Structure 1
């Protein structure tokens, strides 16, 4: 299914419905479709065509969404880049993409000055006096009607770059079929409907952000754009708009719950909440239940490469559980060896590496320009996620960490997620991340970085707590505790573990 057709259908079904709100500027589906056609027509005249890559360096804005649909109408590929990336990584991405066109705004234009490309793309600026052409000129040069270019289901529609927390970012092309079925699964699994209003706090360069938006667009729902996320902007948005859905990283939920500006009564209007991208502690899950009182609370475990691995909608009974495979997926937990095959499944209760079925219609075909990484990740028809997990007796999945994060201390292996899960239950621990730090005698020692709730918390108290808990062997208990004000996180809210591994007192 052509994504552009999906937006055309939504626009014809309910043309008067509000599609997107940004500040005090609202767009109906009819008005937004006209803007999409104008931009698509103008880009067509500039020579943008099927399979050309269009890079965006923009915040969450109405223009970002309009450009997305215009690119789909042209059969081109939408490539939203994380403008928070290091300049070197960003340059590598743009050179890798070989874009036909780059759209940017004032806050990101300095990033482009130092990037040298073999062939100069067309530069489109949201602001006057920058680039080859401005956004306003695109709108003036186009017409309010434009026939979408025919595309195949397997043609690329969007390419996202992974965060690169453990290495250089990798391009992940996703087809029209991938994104169509991923969005349908997003709607079904989160139980969205046509009356829903989404709080758009996740960036549109992230898979969570793009699928939050697409779900609303498919349903004629309403999407509220926040381009600079802050306590004030969230509080103002919730004050003026009856938001019903929030899909975000755990760090965003933590941020909202800690805010003194956000009215708790407004949060209770949000009936459907979901999180992905990182584990959520039991304490935070409980706080979300108490504050939001949601009808739906979903843990969505997936990746940029395959939108859904598993989901869990029964977090009250099993907090932190990743649940069962999504409606388009199969999952296995296999032996932790580089040469392990999909048939080598581990027993319930044992830790293994998580793999996902590549036959899923949500699955990518391989990394952009990286056949070496594709061969590493895709084997025997399965995608090797790099995650470590274990199944309980009911068959539900729990994620305990990453293969690269396993701490080998002496002859023993320690799963950081297991240790974190125990320490999170201490009443004076706000957040914790466990890593292996180098040690001359043991190779690595288990080190816990703790954000305490009280300043006089001691390593002795935490070690006694771990001993009394009974779920950790002696070799799994941290040998070192470091108390810090906040865990280092990337722009998506994930803990940057390599920073902790290299931490020196």
Structure 2
């Protein structure tokens, strides 16, 4: 397996004059970008960073950030990216945990870096400084890393504990990108909207996969539906790989029109389940050649792939080309204790995958919880149907047990999403003296739909009585993470704003 620096050089040699990256007025071919990356690598080599060092990045999807990612691959530095919205204490934690030797930031993260106690003892470089470095001239960069070296360390989002570092080697990163190209049927020269953040596995995969096919990575530093629509139209974007929330925002923007996105032939989504309603609307509007549901994680990029997502709503498909999966009985740690067809259990994935990590960074406790007998226990629940397709029903921690019955929030959300009066919905279990927990639906509505309307819809849809929500709460917004995942825990904690009635507006 090639290291990523050699992989980039191979891309330059194949397609030297092809458009590689776009960011506002910046438009660089592969040959031009290689020159910029080489200059940046040379500059970084003079500031004391050495092979195997972590560097912390707190930046949006700018061309400077993408260039830094590639320069680090040449130098054998371990890119350790954080959300550009990170607070000072989060930066302190990551710096202490990773032992990073430098910090790279931009205007949006400047104040947090300034307030970070640990960052003050390290070299700090702004995006403007990186751009200045790339104005220089340097010999063409040669790889100082090999395929077995660490490339990247992502942090998983912590919900009840501190985030966990997920270190990944060059070979695993490239294997994931090659699989991404194959599983999404990317053609030579695809144009990708580079909006999924480079602190997220989807964003990194898009960046590397784009280089493998001589494609163009069109930077959108932070998501804005209007700006995304402009870029899709102006740059003739051919594929979108987004979380469901961003698709929702595109589709419902006032300036959306099918003709503006006519260049898009492939849709892919990951990071969260997509409701049946949104799936249907996207399929009818874009009419894509390919509509992929990619199910995976930071730890192992691909678990399963469904290439006909709209034809079998909810299906996550079958194991990716580098993977094999199983569903084991809930609570079991034995990879051979399989759940029956149609029985809900925990999804596990083989650690032998070319795309897999090898364990968490300095977290033997997390390894002991998640890795058993060569299998990664995902913490996700699901079942395999009679066709052999996987259906992901949620997180084991999200399962609602009401009156002794298991209720998957995803199933209820998909049912409600098909009602025209529902813009967005999230379902959680809230404590109840009699039932243990009751099913509660939090709804951002479209129009004047009522709780009675939605309850009738659930009954008419054939949703089992014990799965029907006992309460409907109409809210201003559904809380989500920066990459669009539902934050059910905030709803459980009461951290939401109920919709204001007309008399209170």
- Give TM-score scaled by structure 1 length: 0.94
Which residue of structure 1 lines up, in the alignment, with residue 439 of structure 2? 446
Task: List aligned pairs for 1:38-187, cutoff 5 A.
Answer: 38-117=39-118, 120-127=121-128, 134-139=129-134, 143-151=138-146, 153-187=147-181
- Match for residue 348 of structure 2? 355
> Which of 364, 376, 382 is the aligned partner of 1:389?
382
Aligned to 2:15: 14
Give the distance between the partners of 2:127 and 2:256, measured in 1 at CA. Answer: 31
Three-state SS of the structure 1 residue aligned to 2:359 is coil
Is the CA contact (8 Å cut-off) linking 1:406 and 1:413 kept in structure 2?
A: yes
Describe the superposition over 1:439-492 as per-residue Cα deviations: whole angstroms up to 9, x where unpaired.
23333221111222222x2323322332333342x3322211111132111100
Q: Which moved more, 1:240-249 or 1:156-165?
A: 156-165
For the residues of structure 1 that align with 2:265 and 2:284, how far apart are their CA atoms? Answer: 13
Please name the residue that 1:405 is paired with.
398
For 2:103, what is the secondary structure of its paired residue? Answer: strand
Q: Which residue of 2 aligns with 1:335?
A: 329
Cα distance between partner residues in 2 of 1:16 and 1:235: 26
1:195, distance to aligned residue in structure 2 (A): 2.2
Instruction: Deviation per CA, 1:1-41: give whole Å up to 9, x if none.
Output: 21000101111222111100111220111111011111111
Which SS does the other structure have where 2:342 is aligned? coil
Structure-2 residue corresponding to 1:365: 358
Aligned length: 495
Structural RMSD (CA):
1.8
1:312 corresponding residue in structure 2? 306
Q: Would you identify which runs of 4 or more consecutive aligned residues in structure 1 move more than 6 Å?
A: none
Q: CA separation in 2, counterparts of 1:216 and 1:408?
A: 44
Q: Which moved more, 1:417-426 or 1:304-313?
A: 417-426
1:138 CA drift (Å): 2.8
Tell me the residue number matched to 1:29: 30
Report if the CA contact (8 A) 1:312-1:322 is conserved.
yes
Q: How does 1:233-248 map to 2 (within 5 A)?
A: 233-248=227-242
Choose from 205, 208, 212 the match for 1:211: 205
User: 2:280 maps to which residue?
Assistant: 286
What secondary structure, in the 3-state scheme, does the structure 1 residue paired with 2:83 have? coil
Distance 1:136 1:61 in 2: 11
Partners of 2:279 and 2:185 lie apart in 1 by 19
- Give the corresponding residue for 2:501: none
How does the TM-score come out when normalised to structure 2? 0.94
Change in CA separation of 1:241 and 1:294 when aligned onto 2, cut-off 3 Å: same
| Secondary structure of 1:232's aligned partner | helix
Contact 2:300 2:355 in 1 (8 A): yes
Counterpart CA distance in 2 for 1:95 and 1:440 is 44
What residue is the counterpart of 2:415 in the other structure? 422
Q: Give the structure 2 partner of residue 131 of structure 1.
A: none
Deviations 1:122-158, CA, capped at 9 Å, x for gaps:
111223xxxxxx325533666142322142x221101
Structure 1: which 5+ runs fail to align? 128-133
Describe the superposition over 1:326-351 as per-residue Cα deviations: whole angstroms up to 9, x where unpaired. 001111111111x4311111111111
Q: Which residue pairs with 2:491 in the alignment?
A: 500
Tell me how far apart the structure 2 counterparts of residues 60 and 174 of structure 1 sit (CA, whole Å): 20
Structure 2: runs of 5 or more not aligned: 499-505
